[in-house]
Amino acid sequence: MNKIIKFLKSKTFYIASALLIQLIALFLLVTYFSQRFVGIYYILVLLSWIVSLRVINRESDTSSKMLWILLIMSLPFFGGLVYLLFGERKIPKALMIQDRQAYSDYKFYATRNIELMNESHEDDYVLDKMVSMAWSNGFFPVYKNCKTIYFPSGEEQYKMFIEELVKAKDFIFMEFFIINKGVMWNTILQILLDKASEGVDVRLIYDDAGSITYLDPDYPDWLNARGIKTHLFNPMKPQLAMQMNNRDHRKILVIDGKVAFTGGCNISDEYINTKKRFGYWKDMGIMISGEAVEMFTISFLQIWNYQAETNTPYEEFLLPHKKTKVPYNGYVIPFSDSPTDENDTGKLMHLNMINCAQDYFWITTPYLILDQEMISALTLAISNGVDVRIVVPGIPDKKMVYEVTKANFDILIKKGVKIYEYTPGFIHGKVALADDRSALVGTVNMDFRSYYLHYECGVWVHDVDCIKDIKEDFEEIFKASHLVTLEECMKTNFIVRTYRNVLKVFSPIL
């Protein structure tokens, strides 16, 4: 009973109720005027037809187009208006300007790596393709002589979080989708408070939607009063606006410009398994040391400047490039992705890895919602003799999304993809590996939200020392997982199969 009362008093309930009331009011208003004034009805129907043509011809995935056409044609007098409210990418102008400035800054700072970028990669087809794609879709440069450490669990990454945080002397930048009070956050918070009192510049960004059920609305004020400069990303408001779907799904920790972390881990106890949810919670991450850290610093400050409505200069937080290099192996490309443009960098990273793979492409993802372009890329890779494996959770955190994930199983297995279910519990890590040479670790899921709606980030690594650690982790994952067979898929009863197919139509909004 207490949980129900708490929910009824929550910001989540208030916003959801307000949005529902607005949607119902809009529907009733449109219906009323359409019945009273026939001319308005025909104008709205004409609008829906015009909008339908726009949907068909826009650059977007087929699944999203199908969903909108279905909605518009089902409610011809109302669907066009709904699309104009929710269907277009409506990004605040200030954020779009900030993003464009960030890309310009990426390009400016990347010129410090111009010699490396201009090196001939004729003997390395994969590196050449990834460097070209990253530069063309956001001016993300390639770095070398960077130290990389891979974490096969949230527990190991958390341990390194603490070790590096206590060393901070100049600044700490944190950007996370979820922050939830508990052992993990309380420990980190105490370090942040101590560092702030020592004069360290401590800044925190967390997503309002991701943390709305965990933290009080005035929590940023509490943190700011104690020296931790804090901003909520895209605060949830009771308004019918597409931009409420654009969430900051990134996980970034930068310390003194010397080290940067990213991966699947948010700041909540289930990520380090001190709180049990959905069996064993497996997450993965990576730490980068060296010049590549500057891209994470710029990515953080880009969002910070927008939320704070300021223009913090990057230079004071970027370390000078040293002439003497630490001889670490391989190449590193940090990247970020934003819904403010049409680049879809996270998806392109996946596609490029699939298309360049010669021996194998393995990936873990908590959610598997694919469009035809991605399915075709996987199919082509298999036709070329590539071993394609996808690992999904054995125990899901979102039941409806999991049903859509399962709806893809038989299609992919028939094409030759090996699907594994991680039987110990919920695998939340987003890691891809190809040919013992390349890997991607970050926040990008194989789903519509990550590819098109959310702010994401990650790092692509090539011939670095931690590749062997990533492969060892995959091999352990396969041992602990169940290989799904086509026979199992065919045993699914008609009602469940129909339910999954219906959900699949709505997959772009799940």
Please report the pLDDT score of residue 120 as a whole number. Answer: 46
pLDDT top residue among 441 and 100: 441
Q: Which domains does the chain have, with CATH numbers?
A: 2-86 (no CATH), 93-333 (3.30.870.10), 345-509 (3.30.870.10)
CB contact at 8 A, 455 and 336? yes
| pLDDT, tens digit, 9 for 90 and up, residues 12-64 | 555 566 556 656 666 666 566 556 666 766 677 777 777 777 777 776 667 67
Confidence of residue 323 (pLDDT cuts 50, 70, 90): low
Query: Which residues are CB-neighbours of 123 under 8 A, at least 6 positions away?
Result: none
Tell me which of 147-156, 166-175, 392-401 is least confident.
392-401
Residue 100 has pLDDT above 70, yes or no: no
Interatomic CA distance for residues 262 and 248, integer angstroms:
13
Please report the pLDDT score of residue 66 as a whole number. Answer: 72
Strand-pairing partners, residue 336, are 457
Q: Where do the H-state alpha helices sit in 201-292?
A: 208-211, 219-225
Please report the pLDDT score of residue 71 as a whole number. Answer: 75
Interatomic CA distance for residues 487 and 261, integer angstroms:
41
Pairing of strands 481-483, 418-422: antiparallel
| Longest alpha-carbon distance in the chain | 78
pLDDT top residue among 115 and 281: 281
CB contact at 8 A, 287 and 260? yes
Is the pTM for the entire model greater than 0.85? Answer: yes
Q: Comparing C-alpha atoms, which of 293, 289, 342, 297 is closest to residue 316?
A: 297
Interatomic CA distance for residues 77 and 72, integer angstroms:
8
Tell me which of 72-76, 213-217, 429-433, 443-447 is least confident.
72-76
Interatomic CA distance for residues 112 and 428, integer angstroms:
35
Strand-pairing partners, residue 148, are 288
Interatomic CA distance for residues 503 and 224, integer angstroms:
42
Q: Strand runs (DSSP E) across 171-271, as ranges?
A: 171-176, 201-207, 229-233, 252-255, 259-263
Looking up tokens 């109302």 gives: 78
Mean pLDDT across 76-88: 69
Please report the pLDDT score of residue 343 as a whole number. Answer: 82
* 3-state secondary structure (DSSP) of residue 361: strand
User: Cα–Cα distances in Å, from 390 out to 152, 182, 269, 432?
Assistant: 17, 32, 26, 9
Pairing of strands 229-233, 201-207: parallel
Residue 391 has pLDDT above 90, yes or no: yes
Interatomic CA distance for residues 201 and 230, integer angstroms:
11
Encoding tokens for residue 428? Answer: 């939340």
CB atoms within 10 A of CB 218: 8
| pLDDT, tens digit, 9 for 90 and up, residues 454-498 | 999 999 999 999 999 999 999 999 999 999 999 999 988 889 888
Confidence of residue 262 (pLDDT cuts 50, 70, 90): very high
Phi, psi (5° rounding) for residue 311?
A: -140, 65
* Mean model confidence pLDDT for the chain: 86
| pLDDT, tens digit, 9 for 90 and up, residues 332-375 | 999 999 887 778 899 999 999 999 999 999 999 999 999 889 99
Interatomic CA distance for residues 152 and 429, integer angstroms:
9
CB contact at 8 A, 367 and 453? no
Interatomic CA distance for residues 179 and 171, integer angstroms:
20
User: Cα–Cα distances in Å, from 449 out to 210, 408, 510?
Assistant: 14, 17, 8
Considering the chain, what percentage of its residues have pLDDT values greater than 70?
78
Mean pLDDT across 125-134: 91
